[in-house]
Amino acid sequence: MKTYHHGNLKEELIACACKLCDRDGYTKLSIRSLAKESGVSQTAPYRHFETKECVYAAVATVGFKKLNELVFFDSPKKITKTKLVANASKYIEFGLKNANTYDLMFGTAVGNFADYPDLLKSANETYDNMKDSFASLADDSEQIIAFKCITLWSMLHGLVGIIRKVNVVGDDYDDSAGPISSANMIANNLEEHLDKVISGLISN
């Protein structure tokens, strides 16, 4: 059984939970499996996580922080349409490469984010960063900016799911001009598609 210096058990447990979620999916993540994987007693995780949802919230928080690191603009003056397109592409790449964690971040396993202040803060930063990008590029009211932000976020979220489906189906599926074929075309020309969509949102 592992021993930890006082104060770092929680960080070790969170890191282990993230690894388990990434490897097996959050539905296989439990306090029992976390204790076993971490090499600690079955009761040790309860000192830091009262319920399984608390573990989920911690993993989702790490996920949002990693996503924010990829798409964060440190200054509105540095925002350009090209960079926004690149960040949109990075968002999709994150969702594809971290599918299990992404499902936890945007699923219903964690109920009210307001119950977990760190999670709520990290999730809001993702939205605020995207909203600030539009505010810098488009001369619109705050309400329109918010609408455009949600429109883009919804599209990115949808593309993550669609491209994942395309990757599962593979190239052997022939549906001619059907949805899989169209989605595959978008996946193969992702930045061009994102550029058109974002250009339209900025100009309209």
Cα(137)–Cα(77) distance, integer angstroms: 10
Indicate if the pLDDT at residue 145 is higher than 80: yes
The pLDDT of 128-133, averaged and rounded, is 86
HSE-CB at 4 with a 13 A cutoff on CA atoms is 14
Instruction: Give CA–CA dist 195/97, Å, rounded.
Output: 22
Please give the domain boundaries of the chain with CATH numbers for all domains.
1-50 (1.10.10), 63-203 (1.10.357)
Convert the pLDDT of each residue in 11-27 to its tens digit: 999 999 999 999 999 99
Quick check: pTM over 0.75?
yes
